[in-house]
């Protein structure tokens, strides 16, 4: 790593359904709040990294969405990078902005993630997720998923995938069944994740859903794709989140209040591996992020991870080294990942309750962790939090996530 980068300001909209707001309005709110939090003007920015995944599909806005958003705020001239990387779009924008500061190219940079997924045409929304796989091999993907499900004794409703629900729920369902068969993980343990995150989300004024749920509530909800019920699946959403990053020296010069240091941020892509022996892209990225930060999982105080489904959170406990392989279900069941537990996870409510406007999610995680490290989370505050980790993945190619970002922050 070169020069250290710090988070100087953050901003985030509520996540939810905003049919009357466009991406300029959502992103503008988050950016203005981040600039205000950093106590700078838009004219102080030297570059902007703008993450989005679905504007071209939902709004028909292609090629220059970032420039359009920023010009509406009176920001021009500077380099603007439009980044699309599935559900990791915002995290990728954050990663690239940090890297440019570390390399010495800039001293003050904006990273923003923004999204609108709600549409009067639901087929448009579902097509965003269907397009996050290899569409040239859709028949092969569906055949492989069907075979995996059949081997586990479950038939797949292939007609519903991508039309009545996100195709990714079928992918998560297959992984979930395999985890259940291999490690004895239960549907009740998956439900415990959704219940825990509903409690956390009930304490977050920016969360899309704030109603607390019990394990029984989650299990009694409508089934989406066994073993997943509705609260075990992240909702679609609209929203934006932004962060102003600075070199450590510039933040000191400007007298930034409560800077949060970026200890490491690692961006990786999925790769071909032997299912029986190799680590997943999440594991490889996590190891690299820990090594770059000079810490281990035992040093982390709070985590925001990509719970696009409740089982995904359990898988990530294991991939991130928060517990041994196969013990993720027991980890959540014991209350370890709940506020007050030994390592609170998804204190924001996670994707399941805070919401998942995919192009904004990664920086939404950074917003929550920065608030935690600054001690500004009120009822959901993790006492004494000093080291935080964010994990945000996206897309699916062959057998794993297509894009993965793991970042470590500290005060």
pLDDT tens track for 240-264: 999 999 999 999 999 999 999 999 9
Average pLDDT over residues 287-316: 98
Q: Is residue 104 part of a domain?
A: yes
Helix (H, G, I), strand (E, B) or coil at 6: strand
- Is residue 213 domain-shared with residue 256, that is, in the same domain? no
pLDDT at residue 191 greater than cutoff 80: yes
The reply to whether 333 and 281 lie within a common domain is: yes
Q: Is 173 part of any domain? A: no
Looking at the domain assignment, is residue 355 inside a domain?
yes
Q: What average pLDDT does the structure give for the chain? A: 94
Confidence of residue 168 (pLDDT cuts 50, 70, 90): confident
Is residue 284 domain-shared with residue 352, that is, in the same domain?
A: yes
Is the pLDDT at 304 greater than 90, yes or no? Answer: yes
pLDDT at 171 exceeding the cut of 90: no
| Mean pLDDT, residues 176-180 taken together | 95
In sequence order, which ranges of 23-88 are alpha helices (DSSP H)? 23-38, 55-58, 65-72
pLDDT band, very low/low/confident/very high, at 402 (cuts 50, 70, 90): very high
Distance CA 258, CA 6 (A): 10
Give percent of the chain above pLDDT 70.
Answer: 96
Same structural domain, 331 and 199: yes
Confidence of residue 159 (pLDDT cuts 50, 70, 90): low
- Tell me which residue range forms the domain holding 386: 184-234+264-410
Which helix or strand (DSSP H or E) is residue 331 part of?
Answer: helix 328-333
- Cα separation, 318 vs 182, in Å, equals 14
Same domain, 344 and 320: yes
Q: Is the pLDDT of residue 328 over 60?
A: yes
- 14: annotated active-site residue: no
Domain identity same for 247 and 271: no
CA angle 31, 33, 38 (to 5 degrees): 95
Task: Let me know whether 208 and 356 are in one domain.
Answer: yes
Give residue 152's pLDDT.
76
The number of distinct structural domains making up the chain is 2
Residue 269: the pLDDT is 96
Which among 199, 202, 256, 239 is positioned nearest to 355, based on CA atoms? 239
Q: What is the CATH number of the domain that holds 25?
A: 3.40.47.10
Q: Which pTM does this prediction carry? A: 0.95
Instruction: Give per-residue pLDDT as tens, 77-122.
Output: 999 999 999 999 999 999 999 999 999 999 999 999 999 999 999 8
**Based on the domain organization, do 353 and 392 belong to the same domain?**
yes
Supply the pLDDT for residue 373: 98
Question: Are residues 345 and 257 part of one domain?
Answer: no
As a whole number of angstroms, the distance between CA 124 and CA 53 comes to 13
pLDDT in tens, 13-44: 999 999 999 999 999 999 999 999 999 999 99
Q: Picking from 63-67, 83-87, 278-282, which range would have the lowest pLDDT averaged per residue?
A: 278-282
Within-domain flag for 303: yes
Of 179, 200, 306, 356, catalytic = 356
Q: Given this model, what pLDDT does residue 158 score?
A: 61
* Local structure of residue 222 (DSSP, 8 states): P
- Same domain flag for 281 and 292: yes
Task: Give the pLDDT band of residue 160 (cuts 50, 70, 90).
Answer: low
Is a pLDDT exceeding 80 seen at residue 163?
no
pLDDT at residue number 306: 98
Contact 360, 87 (CB under 8 A): no
Return d(Cα 60, Cα 54) in angstroms, integer: 9
356 catalytic? Reply is yes
Contact 44, 8 (CB under 8 A): no
Confidence of residue 144 (pLDDT cuts 50, 70, 90): confident
Q: Is the peptide bond before 227 cis (omega within 30 degrees of 0)?
A: yes
The confidence score (pLDDT) of residue 149 equals 77
Q: Out of 87, 112, 316, 377, which one is annotated catalytic?
A: 87
Q: Is residue 274 part of a domain?
A: yes
């Amino acid at each position: 790593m070169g020069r250290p980068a710090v988070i100087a300001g953050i901003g985030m909209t509520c996540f939810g359904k905003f049919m009357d707001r466009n991406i300029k309005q959502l992103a503008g709110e988050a950016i203005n709040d981040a600039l205000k939090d950093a106590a700078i003007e838009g004219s102080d920015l030297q570059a902007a990294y703008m993450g989005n995944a679905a504007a071209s599909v939902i709004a028909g806005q292609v090629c220059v969405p970032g420039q359009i958003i920023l010009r509406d705020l009176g920001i021009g001239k500077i380099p603007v990078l439009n980044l699309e990387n599935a559900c990791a779009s915002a995290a990728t924008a954050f990663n690239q902005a940090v890297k440019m500061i570390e390399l010495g190219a800039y001293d003050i940079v904006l990273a923003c993630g923004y999204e609108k997924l709600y549409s009067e045409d639901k087929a448009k929304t579902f097509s965003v997720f269907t397009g996050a796989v290899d569409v040239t091999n859709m028949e092969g993907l569906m055949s492989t998923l069907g075979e995996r499900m059949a081997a586990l004794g479950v038939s797949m409703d292939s007609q519903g995938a991508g039309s009545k629900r996100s195709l990714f729920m079928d992918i998560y369902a297959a992984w979930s069944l395999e985890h259940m068969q291999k490690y004895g993980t239960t549907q009740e343990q998956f439900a415990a994740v959704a219940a825990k995150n509903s409690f956390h989300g009930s304490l977050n004024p920016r969360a899309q859903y704030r109603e607390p749920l019990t394990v029984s509530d989650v299990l009694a909800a409508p089934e989406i794709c066994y073993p997943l019920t509705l609260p075990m699946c992240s909702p679609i959403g609209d929203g934006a989140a932004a962060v102003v990053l600075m070199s450590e020296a510039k933040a000191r010069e400007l007298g930034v209040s409560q800077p949060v240091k970026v200890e490491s941020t690692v961006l990786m892509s999925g790769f071909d591996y032997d299912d029986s022996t190799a680590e997943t892209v999440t594991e490889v990225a996590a190891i690299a992020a820990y090594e770059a930060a000079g810490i281990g999982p035992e040093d982390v105080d709070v985590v925001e991870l990509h719970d696009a489904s409740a089982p995904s959170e359990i898988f990530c406990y294991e991939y991130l080294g928060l517990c041994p392989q196969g013990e993720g279900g027991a980890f959540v069941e014991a209350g370890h990942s709940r506020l007050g537990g030994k390592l609170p996870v998804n204190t924001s409510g996670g994707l399941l309750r805070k919401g998942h406007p995919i192009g904004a999610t990664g920086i939404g995680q950074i917003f929550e962790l920065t608030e935690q490290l600054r001690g500004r989370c009120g009822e959901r505050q993790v006492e004494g939090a000093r080291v935080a980790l964010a994990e945000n993945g996206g897309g699916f190619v062959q057998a794993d996530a297509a894009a993965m970002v793991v970042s470590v922050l500290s005060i």
